[in-house]
Structure 1
């Protein structure tokens, strides 16, 4: 019947979707750059080729540590300023989360609830177990909060959060090299300005040349930087696909109307502001109106 939301068959287990697969593909250039950085560092410490290959292999295997609950909890506390729910918050969140997981046909004990120290209305999924809501989200009406939790569960069931964490982990060496070279470049340019201030044109020119050498070396280590103008909008696009999928998953569990109500409230708060095309192209979330339109079309 038109206008009636028909829950779909609950999906069990993680089934990576197009967004997750694209996230892996778009992360490969940074992963290769990180492998080159790790190999270079290993080569500087110990020149034997077998040592270099062993270090790189161990680094690749190190991604498994992100699957450890203790590591994920440490990252949740340290990176996102999150805490475990208080007794009062857990009294409210716990039954709603149990209801969402029962509807989805998954084990609620596989996930850990967190509260982010923010007064904004938000929620997100991270890693393989983390489901977080802000303090303000905890205050939402029960059905609205359930819909948001179902959306975050959708991210987990489609593999989005796990792929994001692994991509972040494997990008660390590449990002560290960028940070170190950037720091060194700023230091060299600072020395060059000192030379220029005291009238040494040769010293200032030398600092510029050294900076250029550092930047060329950085690009040689991280050729994916040249792809960033292309990769950035593609990564944002794949993230938006993930949001649509998480919305569709929540709707499939029967939370479509409640999710539309939540999104309609967000749309009203935006006061009809239209984002510039560049912002829309690089946004990790689709326009709220588009999400509502897709949810309503899926009825």
Structure 2
């Protein structure tokens, strides 16, 4: 049985040009992080979900106060301030392990990953020691950035990609971190949890509601429609019609997500990884085209709701950096 300290089997030849050898002087940027326009837009679009979650948590807190005497402001303040845990290292590790299902690199995986990550962060002027490298046990050719310091690649990407293409993928994920996309996305996810829980609860009771609706009279249906209509008009007037934008939020959020992906591609290209990134995207296009049963085109609605642009769109935007 091979030792875990053995090199990764069948790994492509190292083709990355290392500009920063170990021990050389590296100049770090004064600002290690920023928040670009897409991150701000993403946070803004999550504001209605935050307000809905705040209302749900506040309502639950009032019930708890009436039942057991817990002051209602305590759960509200705790939930509202819980977003700071995005940057709390122990919490991040739990998110990586239990929510994202990631694993820490084994010694032979870290031996490949760490030098590449060091080269990428050195070119960007970023202190790479601030981040934690993780592995996703997946056969997809993918990577992800999450929370404040999580950077992960799939095991297939680590084993199959040449080092320059692995560096390009890591540079893309670093772009998500340095632009604020990763932590703003996780904040948005966290503050929509109450709304998603209510939606799941409604899905569970949906069969019962359908049975009740079938047995309801026409008069009851008419009264219900009038009540819902009145509540809708009152709410729209009180909030200047903002709830009417809710159906458009998934499409707007997806559009911002696609823009964030293109900005992360541009970040990788500016660090000198435009060509290896384009090679990786070409491989993904070829793989999708040659996979039996995989649809070559998706519907318009699915494309508009996707948070990732298709590979051909990404290649088109990368052309100016090649």
> For residues 56-88 of structure 1, what are the alpha-carbon distances to aligned partners after superposition, in whole Å with 9 as ceiling and x for unaligned?
223211211222111111111112221101111
Aligned positions of 1:94-109 closer than 5 A: 94-109=114-129
The equivalent residue for 2:283 is 265
Give the deviation of 1:184 after TM superposition: 3.1
Mapping 1:202-217, distance limit 5 Å? 204-205=215-216
Q: Give the one of 188, 192, 195 matched to 1:174.
A: 195
Q: 1:229 offset after TM fit, Å?
A: 2.9
- Normalised by the length of structure 2, the TM-score is 0.76
Conserved 8 A contact 2:270-2:321: no
| SS of residue matched to 1:36 | helix
* C-alpha separation in 2, matches of 1:69 and 1:236: 28
Conserved 8 A contact 1:30-1:224: no
Match of 2:156 in 1: 136
Contact 2:144 2:173 in 1 (8 A): yes
**Greater helix content:** 1
Partner of 1:43: 62
Q: State the alpha-carbon separation in 1 of the partners of residues 209 and 173 from structure 2.
A: 46
How far is the alpha carbon of 1:10 from its aligned partner?
Answer: 8.4
Cα displacement (A) at 1:32:
0.2
Q: How many residue pairs end up in the alignment? A: 274
Match of 1:34 among 31, 47, 53: 53
Using the alignment, how far apart are the partners of 1:10 and 1:260 within structure 2?
27
CA distance in 2, matches of 1:177, 1:59: 16
Greater relative CO (CA pairs within 8 A, separation 6+):
1
Alpha carbons of 1:165 and 1:126: their partners in 2 closer, same or farther (altered >3 Å)?
same
Q: Which moved more, 1:49-58 or 1:146-155?
A: 49-58
RMSD: 3.0
1:66 is aligned to 2:86: yes
2:161 matched to 1:150?
no
Offset, 1:132: 0.7
Specify the SS of the correspondent of 1:248: helix
Q: Does 1:282 align with 2:301?
A: no
Cα pair 2:53 2:194 within 8 Å, conserved: yes
1:16 aligns with 2:39: no
Are the aligned partners of 1:263 and 1:292 in contact in 2 as well (CA < 8 Å)?
A: yes
Deviation sequence 1:162-206 (CA, Å, 0-9, x none):
01111111111222222223323434546x59xx8xxxxxxx439
Contact 1:10 1:253 in 2 (8 A): no
Aligned mates of 1:187, 1:133 — CA distance in 2: 44
| Counterpart contact for 2:28–2:127, Cα < 8 Å | no
SS of structure 1 residue aligned to 2:192: helix
1:4 aligned partner: none
Distance in 2 of aligned mates of 1:158 and 1:31: 22
